[in-house]
Amino acid sequence: MTDPQRAGELSERLSAVRQRIDQAVQASGRTDKPQLIVVTKYFPASDLRILAALGVTDMGESRDQEAAVKAQELADLGVRWHFIGQLQSNKARSVVCYAHAVHSVDRVPLVAALGKALANRRTAPAPDADSTDPATSLACFVQVDLSTGDSRAATISGHQRGGAAPSDVVDLGRLVDATEGLSLAGVMAVAPLGRDPSVAFGELAKISATLSREFPAATGISAGMSGDLEAAVAAGATHLRIGSQVLGERPPLR
Ligand SMILES: *Cc1c(COP(=O)(O)O)cnc(C)c1O
Protein backbone atom coordinates (compact mmCIF):
# COMPACT_ATOMS: atom_id res chain seq x y z
CA MET A 1 0.00 0.00 0.00
CA THR A 2 3.06 2.19 0.15
CA ASP A 3 3.30 4.52 -2.82
CA PRO A 4 6.70 3.57 -4.27
CA GLN A 5 7.20 6.97 -5.87
CA ARG A 6 6.62 8.80 -2.59
CA ALA A 7 8.84 6.30 -0.78
CA GLY A 8 11.66 6.99 -3.24
CA GLU A 9 11.23 10.71 -2.89
CA LEU A 10 11.26 10.64 0.91
CA SER A 11 14.26 8.33 0.93
CA GLU A 12 16.23 10.75 -1.24
CA ARG A 13 15.23 13.82 0.70
CA LEU A 14 15.99 12.17 4.02
CA SER A 15 19.44 11.10 2.81
CA ALA A 16 20.16 14.65 1.71
CA VAL A 17 19.20 15.99 5.14
CA ARG A 18 21.29 13.37 6.93
CA GLN A 19 24.21 14.38 4.74
CA ARG A 20 23.68 18.03 5.52
CA ILE A 21 23.69 17.23 9.23
CA ASP A 22 26.87 15.13 8.96
CA GLN A 23 28.60 17.93 7.09
CA ALA A 24 27.49 20.51 9.62
CA VAL A 25 28.72 18.32 12.47
CA GLN A 26 32.08 17.90 10.77
CA ALA A 27 32.40 21.59 10.01
CA SER A 28 31.69 22.46 13.63
CA GLY A 29 34.33 20.03 14.91
CA ARG A 30 31.81 18.32 17.19
CA THR A 31 32.21 14.70 18.13
CA ASP A 32 28.60 14.13 19.16
CA LYS A 33 25.69 14.01 16.75
CA PRO A 34 22.41 15.83 17.19
CA GLN A 35 19.16 13.89 17.23
CA LEU A 36 17.11 14.34 14.09
CA ILE A 37 13.41 14.92 14.72
CA VAL A 38 11.45 14.85 11.49
CA VAL A 39 8.58 17.31 11.73
CA THR A 40 5.63 15.53 10.14
CA LYS A 41 2.84 18.03 10.84
CA TYR A 42 0.12 18.21 8.15
CA PHE A 43 1.50 15.13 6.35
CA PRO A 44 -0.46 11.89 6.14
CA ALA A 45 0.19 8.81 8.25
CA SER A 46 1.32 6.97 5.10
CA ASP A 47 4.34 9.29 4.90
CA LEU A 48 5.18 8.63 8.53
CA ARG A 49 5.15 4.88 7.91
CA ILE A 50 7.61 5.35 5.06
CA LEU A 51 9.87 7.48 7.26
CA ALA A 52 9.82 4.93 10.08
CA ALA A 53 10.85 2.24 7.59
CA LEU A 54 13.74 4.52 6.58
CA GLY A 55 14.94 4.56 10.18
CA VAL A 56 13.33 7.74 11.53
CA THR A 57 12.75 7.16 15.25
CA ASP A 58 11.64 10.63 16.35
CA MET A 59 8.78 12.63 14.89
CA GLY A 60 7.58 16.14 15.67
CA GLU A 61 4.00 17.37 15.62
CA SER A 62 2.56 20.78 16.47
CA ARG A 63 -1.18 20.26 16.88
CA ASP A 64 -2.61 17.97 19.51
CA GLN A 65 -5.67 16.87 17.56
CA GLU A 66 -3.57 15.73 14.64
CA ALA A 67 -0.79 14.24 16.76
CA ALA A 68 -3.14 12.23 18.97
CA VAL A 69 -4.74 10.58 15.95
CA LYS A 70 -1.40 9.77 14.35
CA ALA A 71 0.09 8.44 17.60
CA GLN A 72 -2.83 6.06 17.98
CA GLU A 73 -2.91 4.98 14.35
CA LEU A 74 0.86 4.47 14.24
CA ALA A 75 1.40 3.01 17.71
CA ASP A 76 2.93 -0.12 16.14
CA LEU A 77 5.84 1.94 14.77
CA GLY A 78 7.24 2.63 18.23
CA VAL A 79 8.41 6.12 17.33
CA ARG A 80 8.97 8.84 19.90
CA TRP A 81 6.58 11.77 19.56
CA HIS A 82 7.88 15.26 20.17
CA PHE A 83 5.28 17.96 20.72
CA ILE A 84 6.78 21.15 19.28
CA GLY A 85 3.85 23.56 18.84
CA GLN A 86 2.16 26.13 21.00
CA LEU A 87 0.35 24.15 23.67
CA GLN A 88 -2.81 25.21 25.47
CA SER A 89 -3.03 23.98 29.04
CA ASN A 90 -6.32 22.22 28.35
CA LYS A 91 -4.54 19.96 25.84
CA ALA A 92 -2.02 18.74 28.41
CA ARG A 93 -4.16 15.77 29.35
CA SER A 94 -4.15 14.53 25.78
CA VAL A 95 -0.50 15.28 25.03
CA VAL A 96 0.88 13.32 27.99
CA CYS A 97 -0.82 10.19 26.61
CA TYR A 98 1.54 9.95 23.64
CA ALA A 99 4.37 12.48 23.90
CA HIS A 100 7.92 11.52 24.77
CA ALA A 101 8.88 15.19 24.96
CA VAL A 102 7.29 18.64 24.91
CA HIS A 103 9.56 21.29 23.36
CA SER A 104 7.24 24.24 23.92
CA VAL A 105 7.06 24.63 27.69
CA ASP A 106 6.96 28.39 28.11
CA ARG A 107 4.84 29.37 31.09
CA VAL A 108 4.01 28.42 34.65
CA PRO A 109 0.38 27.29 34.15
CA LEU A 110 1.44 24.89 31.41
CA VAL A 111 4.02 23.24 33.69
CA ALA A 112 1.34 22.80 36.33
CA ALA A 113 -1.12 21.39 33.78
CA LEU A 114 1.41 18.86 32.45
CA GLY A 115 2.30 17.74 35.97
CA LYS A 116 -1.33 17.35 36.93
CA ALA A 117 -2.14 15.48 33.71
CA LEU A 118 0.65 13.00 34.36
CA ALA A 119 -0.42 12.49 37.95
CA ASN A 120 -4.02 11.82 36.86
CA ARG A 121 -2.86 9.44 34.23
CA ARG A 122 -0.96 7.42 36.83
CA THR A 123 -3.89 7.09 39.19
CA ALA A 124 -6.56 6.65 36.51
CA PRO A 125 -5.24 5.31 33.22
CA ALA A 126 -7.36 6.24 30.24
CA PRO A 127 -9.88 3.57 29.14
CA ASP A 128 -8.09 3.34 25.81
CA ALA A 129 -4.75 2.94 27.57
CA ASP A 130 -3.62 0.37 25.01
CA SER A 131 -2.86 3.24 22.60
CA THR A 132 0.50 4.09 24.08
CA ASP A 133 2.27 3.43 27.33
CA PRO A 134 2.32 6.27 29.79
CA ALA A 135 5.74 7.84 29.73
CA THR A 136 7.74 7.18 32.87
CA SER A 137 8.72 10.81 32.67
CA LEU A 138 7.96 13.53 30.20
CA ALA A 139 11.01 15.36 28.84
CA CYS A 140 10.43 19.12 28.88
CA PHE A 141 12.33 21.76 26.93
CA VAL A 142 11.80 25.34 28.06
CA GLN A 143 11.01 27.35 24.94
CA VAL A 144 12.80 30.68 24.78
CA ASP A 145 11.62 33.72 22.85
CA LEU A 146 14.77 35.08 21.18
CA SER A 147 13.12 37.93 19.35
CA THR A 148 14.20 41.50 20.03
CA GLY A 149 13.13 44.90 18.73
CA ASP A 150 12.22 44.60 15.05
CA SER A 151 12.12 40.83 15.09
CA ARG A 152 9.71 40.95 18.04
CA ALA A 153 7.38 43.21 16.05
CA ALA A 154 7.67 40.85 13.06
CA THR A 155 6.80 37.87 15.25
CA ILE A 156 3.76 39.55 16.71
CA SER A 157 2.42 40.79 13.38
CA GLY A 158 3.20 37.44 11.78
CA HIS A 159 2.23 34.49 13.90
CA GLN A 160 2.98 34.15 17.54
CA ARG A 161 5.61 31.53 18.12
CA GLY A 162 5.55 31.61 21.89
CA GLY A 163 8.44 31.23 24.27
CA ALA A 164 9.47 32.53 27.67
CA ALA A 165 11.60 35.62 28.10
CA PRO A 166 15.28 34.64 28.45
CA SER A 167 15.29 36.02 32.01
CA ASP A 168 12.48 33.63 33.01
CA VAL A 169 14.07 30.44 31.72
CA VAL A 170 15.90 29.37 34.88
CA ASP A 171 12.83 29.92 37.07
CA LEU A 172 10.68 27.88 34.70
CA GLY A 173 13.37 25.21 34.64
CA ARG A 174 13.29 25.05 38.45
CA LEU A 175 9.55 24.59 38.36
CA VAL A 176 9.78 21.79 35.78
CA ASP A 177 12.49 20.10 37.80
CA ALA A 178 10.38 20.31 40.96
CA THR A 179 7.29 18.84 39.27
CA GLU A 180 6.85 15.12 39.65
CA GLY A 181 6.75 13.26 36.36
CA LEU A 182 8.50 16.01 34.39
CA SER A 183 12.18 15.89 33.58
CA LEU A 184 13.99 19.03 32.54
CA ALA A 185 15.65 18.31 29.19
CA GLY A 186 16.96 21.75 28.26
CA VAL A 187 15.97 24.69 26.09
CA MET A 188 14.27 25.15 22.74
CA ALA A 189 13.96 28.06 20.33
CA VAL A 190 12.91 29.04 16.85
CA ALA A 191 15.20 31.58 15.18
CA PRO A 192 13.08 34.72 14.96
CA LEU A 193 12.26 36.27 11.60
CA GLY A 194 14.63 39.09 10.86
CA ARG A 195 17.46 37.89 13.09
CA ASP A 196 20.65 36.16 12.04
CA PRO A 197 20.09 32.59 13.27
CA SER A 198 23.76 32.25 14.26
CA VAL A 199 23.44 35.17 16.64
CA ALA A 200 20.10 33.96 18.00
CA PHE A 201 21.36 30.40 18.52
CA GLY A 202 24.52 31.75 20.12
CA GLU A 203 22.31 33.44 22.69
CA LEU A 204 20.39 30.22 23.17
CA ALA A 205 23.66 28.40 23.85
CA LYS A 206 24.46 30.89 26.61
CA ILE A 207 21.05 30.46 28.18
CA SER A 208 21.55 26.70 27.97
CA ALA A 209 24.91 26.99 29.74
CA THR A 210 23.31 28.98 32.55
CA LEU A 211 20.51 26.46 32.95
CA SER A 212 22.77 23.42 32.92
CA ARG A 213 25.05 24.95 35.54
CA GLU A 214 22.17 24.53 37.96
CA PHE A 215 20.75 21.38 36.33
CA PRO A 216 23.65 19.35 34.92
CA ALA A 217 21.33 16.88 33.18
CA ALA A 218 19.48 19.61 31.29
CA THR A 219 21.95 19.93 28.44
CA GLY A 220 19.46 19.63 25.59
CA ILE A 221 19.30 22.36 22.95
CA SER A 222 16.40 21.95 20.54
CA ALA A 223 17.15 24.31 17.67
CA GLY A 224 17.49 24.24 13.91
CA MET A 225 14.91 23.83 11.17
CA SER A 226 15.25 23.18 7.45
CA GLY A 227 16.58 26.65 6.73
CA ASP A 228 19.05 27.06 9.57
CA LEU A 229 20.25 23.68 10.74
CA GLU A 230 23.93 24.49 10.05
CA ALA A 231 23.80 27.51 12.34
CA ALA A 232 22.08 25.42 15.00
CA VAL A 233 24.63 22.60 14.80
CA ALA A 234 27.46 25.12 15.04
CA ALA A 235 25.84 26.55 18.18
CA GLY A 236 25.62 23.11 19.80
CA ALA A 237 22.06 21.98 19.04
CA THR A 238 21.35 18.49 20.37
CA HIS A 239 17.92 18.14 18.72
CA LEU A 240 17.11 19.32 15.18
CA ARG A 241 13.49 19.77 14.09
CA ILE A 242 13.42 19.33 10.32
CA GLY A 243 10.19 19.34 8.34
CA SER A 244 9.98 20.67 4.80
CA GLN A 245 13.46 19.60 3.78
CA VAL A 246 12.43 15.99 4.33
CA LEU A 247 8.74 16.03 3.43
CA GLY A 248 8.48 18.85 0.92
CA GLU A 249 6.32 21.92 1.12
CA ARG A 250 3.59 21.52 3.70
CA PRO A 251 0.07 21.05 2.36
CA PRO A 252 -2.25 23.95 3.27
CA LEU A 253 -3.96 23.77 6.65
CA ARG A 254 -7.38 22.22 6.46
C1 LIG B 1 7.15 23.40 11.53
C2 LIG B 1 8.19 23.52 12.56
C3 LIG B 1 9.50 23.08 12.33
C4 LIG B 1 9.97 22.53 10.98
O5 LIG B 1 10.18 23.58 10.10
P6 LIG B 1 10.79 23.36 8.63
O7 LIG B 1 11.21 24.71 8.23
O8 LIG B 1 9.72 22.78 7.80
O9 LIG B 1 11.95 22.44 8.77
C10 LIG B 1 10.40 23.16 13.37
N11 LIG B 1 10.06 23.67 14.57
C12 LIG B 1 8.82 24.12 14.84
C13 LIG B 1 8.51 24.68 16.18
C14 LIG B 1 7.84 24.07 13.84
O15 LIG B 1 6.62 24.54 14.11
Residue at 140 is within a domain: yes
Mean pLDDT of the chain: 92
Residue 250 lies inside a defined structural domain of this protein: no
Closest C-alpha to 190, from 234, 140, 232 = 232
Residues 6+ apart with CB under 8 A from 161: 86, 145, 147, 155, 190, 192
Q: What is the CATH number of the domain that holds 31?
A: 3.20.20.10
Q: Is residue 224 a part of any domain in this protein?
A: yes
Q: Given pLDDT bands bounded at 50, 70 and 90, which one contains residue 165?
A: very high
In the 3-class helix/strand/coil scheme, how is 213-242 assigned residue by residue? HHCCCCCEEECCCCCCHHHHHHCCCCEEEE
Which residue from 119, 193, 189, 113 is spatially nearest to 158, judged by alpha carbons?
193
Ligand 1: residue of 47, 58, 241 to mutate (most ligand atoms within 8 A of CB) is 241
Mean pLDDT of 139-150: 91
Q: Per residue in 40-78, pLDDT tens? A: 999 999 999 999 999 999 999 999 999 999 999 999 999
Q: In the predicted model, is pLDDT for residue 121 greater than 50?
A: yes
Cβ < 6 Å from ligand 1: which residues?
39, 41, 62, 84-85, 190, 225-227, 241-245
Whole-angstrom Cα Rg for the chain: 18
Domain total of the chain: 1
* Ligand 1 atom with least separation from CA of 41: 1
- Name the residue range of residue 226's domain: 4-245
pLDDT, average across residues 156-161: 56
Instruction: Label residue 131 by pLDDT band (50, 70, 90).
Output: very low
Is residue 18 a contact partner of residue 242, using CB atoms and an 8 Å limit? Answer: no
Assigned domain for 12 exists: yes
State residue 125's pLDDT score: 64
Residue 253 forms part of a structural domain: no
Nearest protein Cα to ligand 1, atom 10: 241
In a domain, 25, yes or no: yes
